A = this chain, B = another copy of it.
Amino acid sequence: MTSGSSNISTDVPLGFERHDHAACVSEGLLAAETRCADDGLRFTPVRRKVLEILLQEHRALGAYVILDRLREEGFGSQPPVAYRALDFLVTHGLAHKIERLNAFIACAHPDQIHAPAFMICRLCDSVAEAQSRTSRSVLASAAKATGFRIERTVVEAEGLCPGCAEQADA
């Protein structure tokens, strides 16, 4: 994703790094298509559009922002339309909910097993997804000690992204 190659479509440091952002969208959609085909899931127009909307930003979007965009594109405009598509994407690992923000973001690693961790910039709102091995976490050891059986984890850090931290220091 960090693109050693071609056309940088934006120089905003989204996901904290410059990259070929157009590729994020197309690759993301392609990965989702493949995945759905493989797993016998229906990648319908609404679902596709919602993922596309999410992929367009390395930020978390609220359900109602997504809903507005869906309306503009001619889809249904009532909350369940957005929530159901988001639910589908989250359930199948194509998107994640950022609990801290009550908002949603496209998955950056739809191929791998995901116990994702996020870094959320409180100034520019960008969100980066880190790959995480659950096993060596604080949670894993605490869970082991008490006998808790982990099914899902929420790991989110709030703070300043590299760019904003630099500006803040200046």
Please give the residue numbers on chain A whose beta carbons come within 8 Å of chain B beta carbons, in ascending order.
Answer: 16-17, 99-100, 102, 117, 119, 121-122, 128, 130-133, 136-139, 142-143, 146-162, 165
Contact = CB atoms under 8 A, between A and B. Distances in A.
Contacts of A133: 138
B143 A138 contact: no
A128 B165 CA distance: 33
B152 A165 contact: no
Given A117-B139, A138-B117, A142-B117, A159 B154 contact: no
Contact of A156 (B121, B149, B153): B153
Given A99-B156, A153-B157, A162 B147 contact: yes
A148 B19 CA distance: 17
B151 A160 contact: yes
20 contacts: A16-B147, A100-B154, A102-B102, A117-B142, A119-B143, A122-B151, A128-B142, A132-B142, A143-B159, A147-B162, A148-B159, A148-B160, A148-B161, A149-B159, A149-B165, A150-B157, A151-B158, A151-B159, A153-B158, A154-B157
Given A99-B100, A152-B159, A157-B152, A119 B146 contact: yes
Determine the main DSSP class of A at the interface with B. mixed
A139 B147 contact: no
Given A16-B148, A132-B138, A148-B157, 11 more contacts: A99-B100, A100-B154, A122-B151, A133-B138, A136-B136, A143-B159, A147-B165, A149-B165, A150-B159, A152-B158, A153-B155
Nearest to A141: B130
